[in-house]
Amino acid sequence: MRVVLAQPSFEDFYATPHRLSALGGFSIKALLEAQGHRVLFINFPLTSDKQRPGALPDWAGHILPCLADERGPVSYFTRWSRWGPEPEEAARIILSHEPDFILISLFAHAYGEEVLSLARACRRISGKVRIPLAVGGAGVTVHPGPFVDEPAIDLVLAGEGEVLFRENRLEELRIREGGDKLIRAGRYCSSDEMVPVISETTGGKTHRQAATLLSRGCPRGCRFCSNRLTQGEALRRITPDRMAGEFASFLNRPDPRGIRKLTLDLEDDNLLLDRTYFREILRTFRSLWERAGRGRDELFFTAENGLDYELLDGDFLDELIGLGFRQFNFSLAVTDPALREREKRFFSLDRWRSHLSQLEKGGIPSVSYFICGLEGDSRESTARTLRLLYDAPTQIGISLFYPVPGLEGFQGTDPYGGRHWGLSRGSMAYPWTGSLDTVSLVTAFRLARLLNLMKNSGEASRHEELIGTILREKILYTYDGHKKKIPVPFQDGDLVSSVLGGITFPRTR
Ligand code: B12
Ligand code: SF4
């Protein structure tokens, strides 16, 4: 069969194109090709390097007061944009390839609306010819309801492709009318079944940029984390020999621009759960790289999805640096004692600090991420966390809490309690738990940016006046469209005061 598989466009305030690896889509392509189908995979968000500015949707009115025509180091997001073509245009592209089957891969439920629009556009344009159309992916698996209810969609496939397409051959999947559109995978796939994929995204000027995922599932059970909903609690790892095969075949794909350096981002949720395996894979990649005649200093690794610092120790950190890690993203999630218990996530200050000082000595940068807006969070806990991170030798990464259907408090047929599913984007700063309102969440985000600026003395010196005014008045300022300094229109003054109280600039540590 001729299959067109698509990762749809999406709309948001920002995107990270070098991470739009669509590993799920590429896994499905490899699986179906192995069954003899011809598959064209279109990763729509990457089909144009330009984002298209668009109108903020009506359901996002809550954030309007916090948006401004602003620029500079303390800004929030300013421009709602689209990555990839409009549904109508995308549908025309899909149909121009005359598919026998259309598959759509959705990685996050928050972007589900686009899937419905794309499916409807495919139907409208194809008219009387009804080409079977199925949807799947992590965004579908957690809450298939809206896709089942959409008449333009024939089949809703929940679970991992490795199992779904083993249990249901594509040729046998028929258009189903009514309620039995939903097919759920009966189990999780085994390590042997997991498809190894290395996907190249948009590279930097000096490096090729690729991503992969070695493992799935995590037994740690953090309350806020949706990993278990799609990948289960048992850790599975792609067998090293198959991963090595994929890396070897990647090495045979030369870069048309002649770039030699490669940064490989490991997107796993918790790589450090099996350190022996992780070490073996990194060593294998490195040895294949060097055997292919590539320079030792031309292969780098990142783990942008975050490393659990608790599972690291000093020796292993050194080993990772030796193997090619040049930056560390640590996921702290929660640092505040009151929240740790509730979120079933522990924080060991000493261990984290010891990693940071080791990295600082070696001149290796790090970013430490925390989640803001969890249930039970408060101005005080947010201020404490921001100060803790400010005082440590690391950049601050702030993730505004977003719910995923199936998490505690967001379950059932109406997981978002009547609110629009698009609000579950982190960038929407929606007050899902009620612990902090949108203004406080956005203020926390701006404060994190300000503190990072103040840590970076080179950049800070260019904004000395801005920083000076903010610290003096304990009011956040930003630059307007004409680079004029203006107070941020809506801000949480109490949060600003408690974070900035007692801070001096330039920093003394
Ligand atoms: C890389 C990544 C991204 C990339 C994009 C990846 C892409 N698709 O191009 C980037 C960084 C852009 C991204 C962004 C976001 N992400 Co993200 N991301 C991931 C991450 C770390 C890895 C995804 C991956 O490649 N997995 C490996 C592949 C093999 O798994 P898979 O995609 O699930 O595919 C399997 C199945 O789902 C299925 N399948 C997939 N497609 C299809 C299609 C069909 C037809 C069928 C039958 C089956 C099928 O088969 C595949 C093989 O088993 C996951 C966490 C994780 N470990 O999976 C989060 C994750 C997907 N992201 C998530 C979210 C919510 C986001 C955000 C929307 C969050 C936010 N801040 O608002 C942001 C958007 C921000 C922005 N504006 O950029 C959630 C989604 C939750 C959900 N189930 O709805 C996840 C699960 C993280 C989490 N635990 O919360 N993300
Ligand atoms: S946050 Fe990380 S450690 Fe916690 S359950 Fe999710 S993947 Fe596991």
CB 264 within 8 A of CB 198: yes
23 CA: nearest ligand 1 atom? 25
- Phi then psi for residue 32, to 5 deg, are -75, -35
C-beta of 490 in contact with ligand 1 (< 6 A): no
d(CA 332, CA 310): 9
> Can you tell me which atom of ligand 2 is nearest the CA of 228?
5
Residue to probe by mutation, ligand 2, list 220, 231, 339, 402, most atoms within 8 Å of CB: 220
User: Ligand 1 mean position to 160 CA, how many Å?
Assistant: 12
Ligand 1 nearest-atom number relative to CA 5: 45
Rounded alpha-carbon distances, angstroms, from residue 105 to 79, 133, 134, 419, 493: 26, 11, 9, 24, 43
**183 in Cβ contact with 198 (< 8 Å):** no
Is 114:45 a contact under the CB 8 Å cutoff? no
From 214, 270, 339, mutation site for ligand 2 pocket: most ligand atoms within 8 A of C-beta: 270
Ligand nearest the Cα atom of residue 270: 2
Count Cα atoms within 13 angstroms, Cβ side, for 54. 19
Q: Is 305 in the pocket of ligand 2 (CB under 6 A)?
A: no
In this prediction, residue 333 carries a pLDDT of 85
Task: Using most ligand atoms within 8 A of CB, pick from 107, 304, 425 the residue to mutate for ligand 1.
Answer: 107
Ligand 1 pocket, 138 CB below 6 A? yes
Domain with CATH 3.30.750.210 in the chain: 191-326
* pTM summary value: 0.96
Fold of the domain spanning 2-48+84-184: Rossmann fold (3.40.50)
pLDDT per residue as tens digits for the range 68-77: 899 999 999 9
∠ Cα 351 284 138 (to 5°)? 70
What integer pLDDT is reported at residue 342 of this predicted model?
83
Residue with the nearest Cα to atom 37 of ligand 1?
Answer: 137
- End-to-end CA gap in the chain: 64
Residue 467: CB atoms within 10 Å? 20
User: Where does the chain hold its CATH 3.40.50.280 domain(s)?
Assistant: 2-48+84-184
Q: Which residues pair with 328 in a beta bridge?
A: 366
Q: What are φ and ψ of residue 151, in 5° steps? A: -60, -25
Q: According to the 3-state scheme, what is the secondary structure of 43-93?
A: EHHHCCCCCEECCCCHHHHHHHHHCCCEECCCCCCCCCEEECCCHHHHHHH
d(CA 387, CA 74): 17
pLDDT of residue 88: 98
Q: How far is CA 233 from CA 221, 222, 447, in A?
A: 8, 11, 35
Nearest CA to ligand 1 atom 88: 226
- Tens place of pLDDT for every residue, the chain, 509 residues? 999 999 999 999 999 999 999 999 999 999 999 999 999 999 999 998 788 999 999 999 999 999 989 999 999 999 999 999 999 999 999 999 999 999 999 999 999 999 999 999 999 999 989 999 999 999 999 999 999 999 999 999 999 999 999 999 998 887 766 558 999 999 999 999 999 999 999 867 889 999 999 999 999 989 999 999 999 999 999 999 999 999 999 999 988 888 999 999 999 999 899 999 999 999 999 999 999 999 999 999 999 999 999 999 999 999 999 999 999 999 998 888 878 888 888 778 899 999 999 999 999 999 999 999 999 999 999 999 999 999 999 999 999 999 999 999 999 999 999 999 999 999 999 999 999 999 999 999 999 999 999 999 888 989 999 999 999 999 999 999 899 999 998 999 999 999 999 898 887 65
Residue 56 CA, distance from chain mean position: 21
Rounded-to-integer distance, Cα 210 and Cα 300, Å: 10
Kindly give the number of the ligand 1 atom that is closest to the alpha carbon of 14.
Answer: 77
Q: Determine the pLDDT at residue 176.
A: 67
List of residues 6+ apart from 221 with CB closer than 8 A: 228, 233, 344
Measuring from atom 46 of ligand 1, which residue has the nearest CA? Answer: 136
* CATH numeric code, 191-326: 3.30.750.210
Question: How would you class 391 by CB atoms within 10 Å of its CB: exposed for 0-12, middle for 13-18, buried for 19 or more?
Answer: middle
Which residue has a Cα nearest atom 90 of ligand 1?
A: 226
Q: What is the pLDDT of residues 323-337, one digit of tens each?
A: 999 999 999 988 888
Neighbour order of strands in the sheet with 101-105: 38-43, 2-7, 101-105, 133-136, 155-158, 182-184
